[in-house]
Amino acid sequence: MSHFKNLGLSESLLEVLDQIGFSTPTPVQEQAIPQLLSNNPTDFIGLAQTGTGKTAAFGLPLLDLIDESQKEIQAIVMAPTRELGQQTGTQLIDFSRNNPEIRVEVVYGGAAISNQIKALKQRPKIVVATPGRLIDLLNRKALNLESVRYVVLDEADEMLNMGFKEDIDTILSHTPEERVTWLFSATMPPEIRKIVSRYMKNPIEVAVNTEEKSNKNISHQYVVTKSSNRLAAVRRFMEIQPEMRGIMFCRTKRETQQIADELSGMGYGVEALHGDLSQGQRDAVMKRFKTRSMQLLIATDVAARGIDVSDLTHVFHHSLPDQLESYTHRSGRTARAGKKGISLVFINPREGRKITELEKKIKVKFEQVMIPSMDELKFSRIHHWANIITSTRVDDHAPNILNQLEGHFDALSKEDILKRLITIQLDHLMDESDELNETAQYKTSGGDRGSSRRGSSDSQNRYFVNIGSIDGMTKADLVHFISDISRIDRNFITEVTMQKNHAYFNVEGGQDKGLGNRFKGIEIDGRSIRVNRDDDDTQPKKSDRKGKNKPKRNREQVSGGRRGRRRR
C-alpha cells in the first residue's frame, strides 16, 4: 500500500499529515486523491462506506486546488447534519494548519445566524454547511456563490433521505455552470443517479468495497420479542453488562425522547439526541456522552449522523431502519480501531424475514440471543453489590455505630448475616421488576424466523387480588405474600401490576389449581383477602369486610422492609 507522498499532494500537506499521524491512505483516499488532483477540473463520484476516510479523500485535494490569491469563496461542502458538518470543518481546519491563507468556516442551523454572517465577512475560501442554513444565508444575501469552483456533496444519499433534494437544487442554481461537483456517498440509489445526470458531466467514478458492507469485528445479533417488552429487555442487557457503552437507534423523535425519559426516570445513565433539541442541548448531550457521563445514548438516525465516539461496545436497534442500507451506518458506530462490538436488533415474531434479507444484503450471519433471565440478572446484581462492599472505604463513624448495635446479631453467624443481606438485595431486585414477561421470548430455528413459535406464556393465567399500594405493599412484598399463602414458588409469579387498592399478577399454568380457595379466611386489618382469575366477574361481598373468627393479619405482617414479614 502506498504512502500519502505517492498521491501527488503538496509538501505542505504532507508535512501536516506527518504531524497528525496520517501515514497510510485508506483505499478510497488512495484512489480518489490522485484522480482529483491530476484530472482537475473533473466531476467525481466516490462510493465508500461510512468511516472509510472520505473527508480526507476530498478534503486534501481540495486544499491543494484552492487558489490562495482569490479572495472569494471557492468551495462549498454540503453535509446532511450539523454534527457531520462540524466534524468535516474541524478536519479541514486541521489539514490547513500550515496555510493560514485558507480559511474554513462552518455554518449550520441551531446556532446564531448573526455570528455566522459576521464570520463569512472574513472571506473564507471554503464553507462547510448544512443545506437548510445555506439556503437561509442565500435568502439573506449574506453569501455569494458566483465564484465557487468546487461543490462537494458529502453523504449524498443521507441528504436525499432527509428531504434535501429541493435545497440542493436551489443551492446549485446559485453556483456557476462551469463549477465541478464531487459527490461522495455510501450507496447509489436512483435519486442519486438523477443528480448525477442533471448536474455532472462525464464524472470519474471510484467505488471502494461497496460489497463489503459490514465490519468483521461486529457481532450481529437479534432478539425476538413483543414491542411492549423491548424497554424491559434493554434494561436487562444494561444491568447484565454495567460496563456497556453504546447507542440505541429509534425511528422517531417522540419515541427517542419517551424511551430516554423512562430509562432516565428509573435511574439509568441515558439521554436523548434528536432534532427537536436546541444546538446547545445537543452539544451538551454529546459532551456528556464523550466524557462517559452516560451509559447509553438514545438517538434518531438523522441526529446520530456524524457522531464519532470511540470505544462503543454496543449498538441497539429498537427497530430496524426502513432502508436496510442504514443498518450498516448504525452498526458501524461500534467495533472501531480494531476493537470488537455488538450490534443487537429487536424484532417482533413477524419480522424474521427482514433478518434473512439483511444477512443476504450485507453478507453477514446473525445470531439469535435471548434476553438475560432474572436468574442471570440476580447473579450480576449480587456480584456487583459484593464488589461495591469490598471496595468501599469504611466510614470513621462506622465503629461507633457498630458498638451501638451490640447484641443485635449475636444469634447469627457471619453466613446467616450474609444470607439475609443477599435476600434483601434480591427483594430490591424484585421490587424494581421491569415488567418483562419472562416467557414472552421467541426461540427460532434457522428456517423458522418468519413464523416463530411462542414460549409457554400461553399457559399463564392472570389473577386479581384486593391488595394495593394503599396497604403499604410493594411488588416484592406482594409476591412474597402470595407465595407464602399459596405455597407457589415465587418464580412462577410474574408480571405484577400494582394499583392503589388492588393488584394483578400472572401464575404459570398448572401451578394455580385452587389458588383462590387458599386465601379464604385470610384477612388484613379486618378486610377479607380475595384472589380470583382476572376474567372472573365475582365481586367482593360487603360481609367480607367484617369477618369473624377468621385468621387475621395486619399490614405489618404482610408487607416487608422495616415492618418485617411474617411467614406461614
Q: Which amino acid is at 433?
A: S
Give the span between the Cα atoms of 484 and 464, in whole angstroms: 17
Query: Which CATH architecture group holds 218-371?
Result: 3-Layer(aba) Sandwich (3.40)
* Structure confidence by residue, pLDDT tens digits, 411-428: 889 998 898 888 877 776
Taking phi over 0 as left and psi of -120 to 50 as alpha, with beta for the rest, 335 belongs to left
The helix/strand/coil state of 97 is: coil
The 10 Å Cβ neighbour count of residue 213 is 20
Kindly indicate the confidence band of residue 225, based on its pLDDT and cuts at 50, 70 and 90: very high
Q: Are 4-207 and 455-563 in the same CATH fold?
A: no
- pLDDT for 431: 54
Kindly indicate the confidence band of residue 362, based on its pLDDT and cuts at 50, 70 and 90: confident
CA distances from 212 to 47, 119, 219, 321, 335 (A): 12, 41, 15, 19, 15
Residue 362 has which C-alpha cell?
Answer: 450485507
Domain 455-563 has CATH 3.30.70.330: yes
3-state helix, strand, coil split of the chain in percent (to 5) is 40, 15, 40
* pLDDT over threshold 60, residue 33: yes
Kindly indicate the confidence band of residue 297, based on its pLDDT and cuts at 50, 70 and 90: very high
* pLDDT over threshold 90, residue 243: no
Average pLDDT over residues 526-542: 68
* Structure confidence by residue, pLDDT tens digits, 376-402: 888 887 887 888 888 888 889 999 998
The vertex-457 CA angle with 451 and 462, nearest 5°, equals 140
What percent of the chain has a predicted confidence (pLDDT) above 90?
Answer: 43
pTM over 0.85: no
Could you tell me which residue, 174 or 534, shows the higher pLDDT? 174
Q: Per mean pLDDT, which range of 30-34, 284-288, 323-327 is the poorest?
A: 323-327
Q: Where are the domains of the chain?
A: 4-207, 218-371, 455-563
Residue 346 has which C-alpha cell?
Answer: 429487536
Give the span between the Cα atoms of 75 and 53, in whole angstroms: 20
Kindly indicate the confidence band of residue 497, based on its pLDDT and cuts at 50, 70 and 90: confident
- pLDDT for 110: 81
* pLDDT over threshold 50, residue 316: yes
- pLDDT for 379: 85
**CB proximity list for 466: less than 8 A, separation 6 or greater:** 501, 502, 527, 529, 530, 540
* pLDDT over threshold 70, residue 214: no
- pLDDT for 457: 43
* pLDDT over threshold 50, residue 539: no
Contact indicator for 73, 144 with CB cutoff of 8 Å: yes
Average pLDDT over residues 321-326: 75
Give the span between the Cα atoms of 394 and 416, in whole angstroms: 22
Give the span between the Cα atoms of 114 and 104, in whole angstroms: 17
* Structure confidence by residue, pLDDT tens digits, 38-87: 999 999 999 987 677 899 999 999 999 999 889 899 999 999 888 889 98
* Structure confidence by residue, pLDDT tens digits, 180-208: 999 998 888 888 888 999 999 999 999 88
- pLDDT for 8: 94
Domain 4-207 homologous superfamily, CATH:
P-loop containing nucleotide triphosphate hydrolases (3.40.50.300)
Residue 234 has which C-alpha cell?
Answer: 434493554
- pLDDT for 432: 53
Average pLDDT over residues 543-547: 41
Average pLDDT over residues 212-227: 82
Give the span between the Cα atoms of 334 and 86, in whole angstroms: 21
- List the 341-347 sheet strands across, edge first: 270-273, 296-300, 246-250, 314-317, 341-347, 218-224, 367-368
Mean pLDDT of the chain: 84
